[in-house]
Structure 1
Amino acid sequence: ESGGALPAATITATHVDTGTMRTTTTSSAGTYVMPALPVGTYTIKAEMAGFATVVKEGIRLAVGQSAALDFSLKLAAVAETITVAGESPLVDTKRSDLSGSVDVKQVENLPVNGRDWLGLVALVPGARGNPGSIQVGASGSDMAKYQVDGVDVTNQCCGGSNQGYSQENIEEFKVETNRYDAEYGRVNGAVINAVTKSGTNAFRGTGFGFFREDRFGDAPNFFTKQVAPFDQKQSGLNGGGPIVKGKAFYFASFEYQKLANTAHPNTGYPQFDVDASADRKRYYTTGRADIQKSEAHRLFARASVFDWKSLNDSVGGTTTISGGTGQTSKNRDLSVGDTWVISARAVNEIRAGFSSINNLLDSNSRTVRLAFPSATLGSPTNSPQWWKEMNIQVNDLFSYFVPSWHGEHNLKSGFQFFRPHFWGAFPDPAYGSFTFTKDPANFNDPKTYPNPTQYTIPLGDTSYTIMNPTYGMFFQDNWTVTHSLTLNLGIRYDLETGTSNTDVPSPIQPGIRPLDKNNVSPRVGFAYDLRGDGRSVVRGGIGRYYDKVMLNLTSNERRTILGQFSWAGSPSPTTRRRTSPAA
């Protein structure tokens, strides 16, 4: 009440939905910190012998949020408790990053085309793009980093996320668009950090369904003047609850999506211009368990499966059914973690997991490609192909609070091991392609085919495999210099060891390629509370950021050493010529 510091006061944070608690004590300066709390709504209690207990209710902590709560305790002759309706701080006065959050109500209630939660990223100022190609500032669409439950699920081949989750499964997420801390490396675009739903002390479950069919009044096809078959379904179930109240919880979800569309070539030849099923099916399955083993240890494990399949891709226009492809994709990921409260000042978080993809692009007809002006038949030159990815990672983060050394210091350091493995073949096998300048008299009679003007086919082994063990470490000091000024100081180092093809000569850099070892990333930022009331903050900062090396660059480089047979000539058989294989 006098404004003096109260050391050794007990601060207890109780998660409203689960009843789990975290307790700490104030330092000699009257300060306290509780890092790595789960997202959710809390009741915060401050108590000390001889003083009235103060309870603040309804404090909501979002993902990645840092909230400052001050307590003023009054002397009390008898036991007394003062309960106030708390409010979550609207402005984070301790961080210099530019970011925004999409909370649970927005995720649950806002309509999203295709039910892809990443479609909500554009709600955050500075972020734009579609799912899989999120951009901020001048960054490219493949430069974003995707994290779910603290584990990186970014596609290491080509960017975007290599996993899919039901919208019902996402609790909330944060998008950092600029000036993020040294904790985040190998990223030059947005950092998208999501957490999945977990069970609570109450059983809960929901179900949903969306259905659309052509018989409900679809418009006719422009060319055929008929209503093509169309059927779209989106349905799912999810639920969770306690295994042991206040100790262990579960949550599970399943979602099925089907888009039964129709593809229709427009070649002008009735034998090719027939409807073809262009179905798309998606399956999302997730299971999660959380255990509060003790006040010192909170553990979780989550496994997700995302499978999808498509038929007759690229069929339409001059591409006939035999010239189309189908694709199947099987995606898996697993995340496990432990948050260890070592003391009132120290917390250690460890996260481990893997994410994998298994993709097959297959030709409708495994035959040579015949490209006529009006119709294209046979296998595309990029099909069949397959590619797989298996990413294993372990992250360890240690946080320590220094309450009174020229201000307060929230220190964090960490080590991150990430091992992407990307392999496949493209195409496998190769069938080659003929090009014609006019249509045949009869597509069913090869004897009527005109002479081709070009033939190409790749030669050699089209397979590739890239293993890229990656190591990262960082140190971060969020230094509260005064009540109004906070400095965010960090430094980071990253090393990627498997991005170079040692057997492919470089015309720019002859000889053995050295490792890129100078990836040191210093970062400095500040946040200044103009009036000291938490309502107006000026932020700024500068830093160096290194992006990841896309592994398709490495695989594409290997393709430069493949040979290719190429023949070109005029329609007259007497003027044909042949070129030797290119290497």
Structure 2
Amino acid sequence: MAERKRRQTQKVCVLAGLFVLNFSIAVMLAQSSAQISGAIKDQTGAVLPGVEVTMTQAETGFKRTAVTDETGSYVLPNLPVGPYRFEAALPGFRTYIQTGITLQVNSNPIINAVLQVGQVLDEVSVQADAALVETRSTGVGSVMDNVRVLELPLNGRRVADLILISGAAVQGTNTFTYGARGYNQVAISVAGGQGAGVDYALDGGTHNDVYTGLGVTMPFPDALQEFKLETNALPAQYGHHSSAAVNAVTKSGTNQFHGNLFEFVRNNSFNANNAATQTRDTLKRNQFGGTLGGPILQNRLFFFGGHQTTMERSANSPAPQFVPTPAMLEGDFTTFASKVCNNGVQRVLRAPVQSFGADANGNTIYRVDKSQLSPAALNLAKRLPAAQDACGQIRFNRGVADNEYTSVGRVDYQLTQKHSLFGRYLDSYTHNLDDYDGVNVLTFSRSALQSRIHSFVLGDTYSIRPNMVSSFHGTVNAVTNEAYPPKYFDLSDLGVKNVYHYVPGFFLMTVTNGFNISG
């Protein structure tokens, strides 16, 4: 009997824990929505209990209803962002209607109304845009709405760059690009905080990379509805990132089909020469894609999808490198150590190199018996590009090729007036090609890197009663990074014995003041 009671007690505790967890998740993760509250009064200033308050989203027909309490107050939490129509009705009074209300992500405005005596069928309409005042949030923030997301110039169309113009934000120094992750990650310091101290949320789900602490790839501008940057005295829900919070919302379908096709081109053929160098840059970037959204079932089921492809090509000229000259391979290091090759300073070489006086130009003559040269080093020299002058200097260009493919899909389903579901999937695939040209091994500085981000959010919102809403968000983020180094040769190919290669045909080498094979 005691054992049975103990098990029953455990079941009750588990159920209670799940119930509390459900509402805790609603408090912590319902960041992609908005909330309104207010009070309804009559013309004398007396509060009106029992008023039915309805918010209707203009684009989807979504409705949420509340009834004012004995103090005339109401609360409508967890409302999707977008334009709304506000309506307050009570028998014996004219219906109050207000349009031009736009709820933004993570906003908590107050909307009050005054009802006039009359018939319910009579309406008092306010059509001017509502001035919404934030009254509940302790943080300081700004919203980057869809118009600015689309219209403000963005180099590379990276939405995260807009955070820098939202106020109190600067780009940090610990920016992670190629080599750490395959996709660009920008460390942004907000209000003097750490670069990795910003909490990113997309559609109410966490959107941070657990490896770096930075945000992962955001949707491209045409697929993003808006985002909000907040800092300073943030609620406890942002406790795992101390600096700031960025809450973003993807676009969703509406009762009207809408979409677009786009291409953005940056090409050096369109540019003028640099005034200092009289040359053009080498960047060629093509970004193209499109979006489409609309209804599957009017007022109930909607879809939205979009894709963007980015193809970027450029070339850079690294600092000059130095390789063995034909004279050095024959054992003559006189020119290598001369003043001409060392900025006017005679280089002093040590044994086994021997000096044999000075030449007609005053340079010390250095020679070494060719038999003392390392066979492995000679084999390596055969695989290096030929020197372009007597000092061993060589110059070359490196080609850079990066591709990025970002897709977003979202479905919203209004089961009933009290119950709604949504699911959003984001897939971002980045392919950074290696820069080895297949001929000159010194062109190699980075391996091919393929990075993929899968981000899925499922949201369920149920209105238990007008002032109590259960909101559940489940998030799955998966990031994979795979490096593929090119194959050229390894130490065994050079004749070095007893060497294990984890990746055959590949090794790295740095020769101080000489050349680098690195990636």
TM-score, L = length of structure 1: 0.61
Q: Give percent identity, aligned residues only.
A: 27
Q: Which residue number corresponds to residue 290 of structure 2?
A: 237
Q: CA separation in 2, counterparts of 1:38 and 1:322? A: 50
TM-superposition CA deviations, 1:485-516 (whole Å, max 9, x none): xxxxxxxxxxxxxxxxxxxxxxxxxxxxxxxx
Asked if structure 1 preserves the Cα contact closer than 8 Å seen for 2:61 and 2:299, the reply is: yes
Q: CA separation in 2, counterparts of 1:2 and 1:437? A: 86
Paired residues for 1:156-555 under 5 Å: 156-217=210-271, 219=273, 230-265=283-318, 266-267=320-321, 271=386, 273-312=395-434, 320-365=442-487, 436-437=511-512
Asked if structure 2 preserves the Cα contact closer than 8 Å seen for 1:337 and 1:349, the reply is: yes
Against the structure 1 CA distance between its residues 74 and 186, is the aligned structure 2 distance closer, same or farther, given a 3 Å change threshold? same
Task: Give the one of 76, 96, 100 matched to 2:142.
Answer: 100
List gaps (5 residues or longer) in structure 1.
Answer: 370-376, 378-383, 385-426, 444-583
Asked if structure 1 preserves the Cα contact closer than 8 Å seen for 2:265 and 2:286, the reply is: yes
Task: Give the one of 124, 129, 141 matched to 1:82.
Answer: 124
Q: Kindly indicate which of the two structures has a greater share of residues assigned to strand.
A: 1
Asked if structure 2 preserves the Cα contact closer than 8 Å seen for 1:210 and 1:235, the reply is: yes
The AA in structure 2 aligned to 1:99 is G
Q: CA separation in 2, counterparts of 1:128 and 1:87? A: 33
The AA in structure 2 aligned to 1:168 is D
Q: CA separation in 1, counterparts of 2:467 and 2:512? A: 76
Query: Helix, strand or coil: the match of 1:320?
Result: helix
Against the structure 1 CA distance between its residues 31 and 429, is the aligned structure 2 distance closer, same or farther, given a 3 Å change threshold? farther
Deviates more, 1:180-189 or 1:319-328: 319-328
Against the structure 1 CA distance between its residues 247 and 313, is the aligned structure 2 distance closer, same or farther, given a 3 Å change threshold? same
Q: CA separation in 1, counterparts of 2:514 and 2:238? A: 56
TM-superposition CA deviations, 1:228-260 (whole Å, max 9, x none): 864211111001000111101000000011111
Q: CA separation in 2, counterparts of 1:78 and 1:124? A: 45
TM-superposition CA deviations, 1:318-368 (whole Å, max 9, x none): 992234322211111111001111101210110002111111233334755
Against the structure 1 CA distance between its residues 138 and 70, is the aligned structure 2 distance closer, same or farther, given a 3 Å change threshold? same
Q: CA separation in 1, counterparts of 2:52 and 2:101? A: 18
Query: Helix, strand or coil: the match of 1:95?
Result: coil
Displacement of 1:433: 5.6
The AA in structure 2 aligned to 1:351 is H
Q: CA separation in 2, counterparts of 1:227 and 1:205? A: 36
Q: CA separation in 2, counterparts of 1:250 and 1:67? A: 28
CA RMSD in angstroms comes to 3.1
Asked if structure 2 preserves the Cα contact closer than 8 Å seen for 1:277 and 1:311, the reply is: no
TM-superposition CA deviations, 1:135-193 (whole Å, max 9, x none): 11232111111110011010111121223421211100111111111222311111111
Asked if structure 2 preserves the Cα contact closer than 8 Å seen for 1:45 and 1:55, the reply is: yes
Asked if structure 2 preserves the Cα contact closer than 8 Å seen for 1:284 and 1:304, the reply is: yes
Task: Give the one of 50, 53, 71 matched to 2:95.
Answer: 53
TM-superposition CA deviations, 1:362-386 (whole Å, max 9, x none): 33347559xxxxxxx9xxxxxx9xx
Q: CA separation in 2, counterparts of 1:349 and 1:302? A: 16
Query: Helix, strand or coil: the match of 2:50?
Result: coil
Q: CA separation in 2, counterparts of 1:36 and 1:304? A: 23
Against the structure 1 CA distance between its residues 430 and 54, is the aligned structure 2 distance closer, same or farther, given a 3 Å change threshold? farther
Q: CA separation in 1, counterparts of 2:211 and 2:504? A: 21
Q: Kindly indicate which of the two structures has a greater share of residues assigned to helix.
A: 2
Displacement of 1:305: 0.7
TM-superposition CA deviations, 1:70-98 (whole Å, max 9, x none): 11111115731111124333431232211
Against the structure 1 CA distance between its residues 365 and 103, is the aligned structure 2 distance closer, same or farther, given a 3 Å change threshold? same
- Asked whether 1:145 is paired with 2:195, we answer no
TM-superposition CA deviations, 1:46-75 (whole Å, max 9, x none): 001010001000111100000101111111
Displacement of 1:264: 3.7
- Asked whether 1:118 is paired with 2:160, we answer yes
Q: Which residue number corresponds to residue 494 of structure 1?
A: none
Q: Which residue number corresponds to residue 73 of structure 1?
A: 115
Query: Helix, strand or coil: the match of 2:235?
Result: coil
The AA in structure 1 aligned to 2:232 is N
Q: CA separation in 1, counterparts of 2:120 and 2:76? A: 29
Asked if structure 1 preserves the Cα contact closer than 8 Å seen for 2:435 and 2:444, the reply is: no
Query: Helix, strand or coil: the match of 1:108?
Result: helix
Asked if structure 2 preserves the Cα contact closer than 8 Å seen for 1:300 and 1:336, the reply is: yes
Asked if structure 2 preserves the Cα contact closer than 8 Å seen for 1:45 and 1:56, the reply is: yes
Asked if structure 2 preserves the Cα contact closer than 8 Å seen for 1:308 and 1:330, the reply is: yes
Q: CA separation in 2, counterparts of 1:430 and 1:185? A: 48
Q: Which residue number corresponds to residue 575 of structure 1?
A: none
Q: CA separation in 1, counterparts of 2:470 and 2:89? A: 26
Against the structure 1 CA distance between its residues 434 and 325, is the aligned structure 2 distance closer, same or farther, given a 3 Å change threshold? closer
Query: Helix, strand or coil: the match of 2:115?
Result: coil
Q: CA separation in 2, counterparts of 1:261 and 1:7? A: 67
Task: Work out the number of aligned pairs and report it.
Answer: 384
Against the structure 1 CA distance between its residues 8 and 189, is the aligned structure 2 distance closer, same or farther, given a 3 Å change threshold? same
The AA in structure 2 aligned to 1:241 is G
TM-superposition CA deviations, 1:550-576 (whole Å, max 9, x none): xxxxxxxxxxxxxxxxxxxxxxxxxxx
Against the structure 1 CA distance between its residues 171 and 434, is the aligned structure 2 distance closer, same or farther, given a 3 Å change threshold? closer
The AA in structure 1 aligned to 2:74 is Y
Q: CA separation in 1, counterparts of 2:407 and 2:219? A: 8
Asked if structure 2 preserves the Cα contact closer than 8 Å seen for 1:68 and 1:89, the reply is: no
